[in-house]
Amino acid sequence: MSLFFVYITDKQRKGRLFMKDVLTIQQIRAHLQEGTYSEEMLSSWQEDHRTGVQKLMDAHKRKQVKEQELREQYDHMCSFENAYYEKGKQYIAGIDEAGRGPLAGPVVAAAVILPRDAYIAGLNDSKQLSEAKREALYEQIIDTCIAYGVGIVTSQRIDEINIYQAAKQAMLEAVDELECQPDHVLVDAMPLSELSCTYESLIKGDQRSVSIAAASIIAKVTRDRMMQEADTAYPGYGFKDHMGYGTKQHLEALRKQGITPLHRLSFAPVKDLSRV
């Protein structure tokens, strides 16, 4: 009987071990998505010449750059809060409203107190965010904040006292709803001398302060949900699409179907239709 011996060189042995230890592209993708990787793993993937791996690494680098930009934006928008923390303030509330311009529906305001060490990636003026992003941030804000409050003023009350005073009333009600009362308030472009604490009014505050941005999202999402419910109560007006603003669809529905209890009679063209 003949015996055959197979000799494996060191180079072949190392090659086989290397191939055994190499992760598939799908496995690398999973590690990147789940964040279960080390710096050594990243370095090895950067040197991996497979096209699929290099595409994953390029996407990973872009994601890291975006995350860094969001972090820097958030830190920049904390400047007003940080200035007042340095002055000894502990609970700083941001206040904003949604719904000044529509022809129908309430004006809604929110007040939010965020923890000093909070970080909510992508937090910004609600008007600059998609509906899906607002909804996601709404949940994060609720889960993260120390306290939040909402104030709602109806269209009837808006007609009685005008939209400016109604927006102010909603803001003050939102502060009253806070479980933890603030010792300072940052508010978007509204003087609130009625407050019992100090405050600062900031022009375009929802783009400059994380607290006001958080309040803008709570107010916007709360009001949008109310208008979506109104769409069921008053079909044919398209409230879930335009949220009460004076779009072509809305104006046409007003002319055909008339005025609802949600409409602001003091706003043209609702006022003009009420005279017909």
Residue 21: predicted pLDDT = 66
Give residue-wise pLDDT tens across range 168-214. 999 999 999 999 999 999 999 999 999 999 999 999 999 999 999 99
pTM exceeds cut of 0.85: yes
How many angstroms separate the Cα of 216 from the Cα of each of 90, 124, 207, 211, 234? Answer: 21, 9, 10, 9, 26
- What's the mean per-residue pLDDT of the chain? 92
29: nearest Cα among 50, 51, 60, 64: 60
Cα separation, 168 vs 166, in Å, equals: 5
Ligand-binding site membership of 10 (annotated): no
Identify whether the C-beta of residue 217 lies closer than 8 Å to the C-beta of residue 134.
yes
Ligand-binding site membership of 272 (annotated): no
Ligand-binding site membership of 75 (annotated): no
* Location of each CATH 3.30.420.10 domain in the chain: 79-229
For 136-142, what is the mean pLDDT? 98
CATH number for the domain whose boundaries are 79-229: 3.30.420.10
Q: What is the DSSP letter of 104?
A: B
